[in-house]
Amino acid sequence: MSGPPVAPPVRPGPAPGLRGAVTTLVVGLALVLLGAALAGPRVAAVVGEAGVCAMAPCRPEVPSVGFTVADGGAPVVHTGPRSAQQIETVEVRAGSDDGTDDGTVLWRVDRAGAVPEDWDGSVQLGRTPAGFRETTPLTGPLPAAAEVVVESACARSPATLPAGTAGAGQVLAYGEAVPYEQFLAEDTGFSACSAPPPPRPGNVLLGVVLLLAGAVVTLVGLPQVLAARRGRH
């Protein structure tokens, strides 16, 4: 004669403390993942294309400006073949400082069309180079310490007209005489004008907040889970 049926043993569910700790941990991890999804790809894409300049202002890349003297005594400005194709404006100012728009424009030429492919960026002040038009004619001798500004579409490279001259086959750049061929070879050109759009502040800020909140909640929940599991054994 068989006895009464025996019910299968009931496994105890997670203790309330463990259940709450697991919930806290899951919420923390979810916040971390959500924050990373909002901020991570956008920031990584922008920084990958533009480096740290994507997140903070950086000085643009500009070429060195050098000087020689033509046979007639007129100053000649030099940049280099890479910069030559990017030059939009060459101007001379008096009373200006470090490429600002202060002072008086003494001479200026603006890009008006294509420039020769083999142009090395040399411009005799007072003479309009091919592919440019003179917008401010030179009406007198250039004063001492006049400032020459060579500009691309989005950057400018200023230099003070030197009082001295370089030797034969040399360019005087920022007080230093450099061999002409070396000066041309070291031409960096201007920074590209196009830049990736900056990250959307709202999305990135929200993502960072969620990441921080998720990290805090995770750090709180993980010890609780470990402590609750140890308490069950």
Q: What are the tens digits of pLDDT across the range 209-225?
A: 766 776 776 676 667 65
φ, ψ (nearest 5 deg) of residue 94: -115, 135
Structure tokens at 203: 């999305």
CB 218 within 8 A of CB 32: yes
Q: Dihedral, CA atoms, 110, 111, 117, 121, nearest 10 degrees?
A: 20
Rounded to the nearest 5 degrees, what angle is found at the Cα of 161, between the Cα atoms of 113 and 84?
A: 25
- What is d(CA 63, CA 156) in angstroms, rounded to the nearest whole number? 9
Confidence label for 192 from pLDDT (cuts 50, 70 and 90): confident
Whether pLDDT at 125 is above 80: yes
- Averaged pLDDT for residues 59-78: 90
Residue 185, classed as helix, strand or coil, is helix
- Averaged pLDDT for residues 42-64: 61
Tokens 């579409």 belong to residue: 153
- What is d(CA 69, CA 78) in angstroms, rounded to the nearest whole number? 11
Q: What's the predicted TM-score (pTM) here?
A: 0.59
Structure confidence at residue 144 (pLDDT)? 84
Strand segments (E) across the chain: 66-69, 75-78, 89-94, 104-111, 123-124, 132-136, 147-151, 156-160, 170-173, 176-179
Whether pLDDT at 128 is above 90: yes
Strand partners, 160: 147
- What is d(CA 231, CA 227) in angstroms, rounded to the nearest whole number? 6
